[in-house]
Amino acid sequence: MPAFPFQKQLIDIWIEAFPRTTLLMNFDEQQALTYGTEHGAGWRLDCLGDMRTSSTNVYFPAEMLEIYPQQIVRAGIQSVWQRRPVSLETCYTVAGWKERGYDLDYILDQALRWHVSTVNIKSAPIPSEWKAQFDTFQKKIGYRFNLRRLEYSKVIAAGTMMPVHMWWLNEGVAPIYKEFTLAMELRSPKIAPVIPVPVDIRKWLPGDAVYDGTLYIPENLAEGNYEVRIAMLDPRTGKPAIRLAVEGRQEDGWYAMGSLTVKAQ
């Protein structure tokens, strides 16, 4: 690799050229790793699962048990996951780990400790006897939004503010990094207004998130019964984009949550 001043120039070119694109800083060069993540990049490494205890190859040291845990601390990137993604690529393949007798639990647990959002397993098959562990693992990486409680008025007047209480749980190990709109829809056979909920879900780190507020019920809603639905929408298309960890998902991606009645004031 060239000296760091030249690495820095290349990093600056990428950051300037892609201001709206999620960038990932490669792991090998410590100064570059620190600089890139300080300027808006996430980070990636390409040897997840290398469980060798030692190495005589200067270009291929023992990664998981030596280099990676220490490099994270030395580069000061322990909290980058809170604002930018962590992406990992397998060393060899998952089947290669099994052939070498590597400790799968240790590998997956370490990835979760690093708050991983995506894992590249090189399109290689997962050994059948490890399938259950990977099914559990994939439910923990990245974000996983579970709506624990939703409270709203069962009868409401059009043109008024409706109290709403939401209790969410991010069951994953990382937040979501791109902007999506949490919304409530009131659906009848004739009309289906979408009401945005004023929260920034990018701030929902692992753990609980609560919304205690009010939503405006449009004044043009006719009296009658409405189905209440929830979704996280792509701001560009206005369509549901995030699959939630709850039941009730319908064909169009919205989640049925109940009903309410609109009455005249």
| Residue 242 phi, psi (nearest 5) | -115, 125
Instruction: Choose the final residue of a domain: 138, 168, 190.
Output: 138
The 3-state DSSP class for residue 216 equals strand
Question: Do 241 and 169 share a structural domain?
Answer: yes
Full-model pTM: 0.92
Q: Are residues 15 and 41 in the same domain?
A: yes
Q: Which of 244, 245, 117, 139 is nearest to 183 (CA)?
A: 244
| Number of structural domains the chain divides into | 2
> Could you list the pLDDT tens digit for every one of the 265 residues in the chain?
899 999 999 999 999 999 999 999 999 999 999 999 999 999 999 999 999 999 899 888 899 999 999 999 999 999 999 999 999 999 999 999 999 999 999 999 999 999 999 999 999 999 999 999 999 999 999 999 999 999 999 999 999 999 999 999 999 999 999 999 999 999 999 999 999 999 999 999 999 999 999 999 999 999 999 999 999 999 999 999 999 999 999 999 999 999 999 997 7
| Complete edge-to-edge strand list for the sheet that includes strand 42-48 | 24-26, 42-48, 86-90, 118-120
- Is the same domain home to 111 and 181? no
Tell me the CA distances in angstroms from 65 to 14, 43, 142, 156, 196, one per residue in order. 31, 19, 23, 59, 46
The range of the structural domain enclosing residue 42 comes to 4-138
Q: What are the pLDDT digits (tens) for 70-87?
A: 999 999 999 999 999 999
Question: 109 and 79 share a domain?
Answer: yes
Q: Which ranges of the chain would DSSP assign to H, the alpha helix? A: 4-17, 30-38, 68-75, 94-100, 104-113, 131-138
Q: What's the rounded Cα separation, in Å, for the pair 227 and 239?
A: 18
pLDDT digits (tens, 9 = 90+) for 115-159: 999 999 999 999 999 999 999 999 999 999 999 999 999 999 999
Is residue 166 domain-shared with residue 233, that is, in the same domain?
yes
Cβ–Cβ < 8 Å for 167, 142: no
Q: Based on the domain organization, do 13 and 133 belong to the same domain?
A: yes
User: Which one of 91, 121, 138 terminates a domain?
Assistant: 138
77 is written with which tokens?
């990137």
Can you give the CATH number for the domain in which 158 is found?
2.60.40.770
Domain-terminating residue out of 138, 172, 205: 138
Residues 228 and 173 in one domain: yes
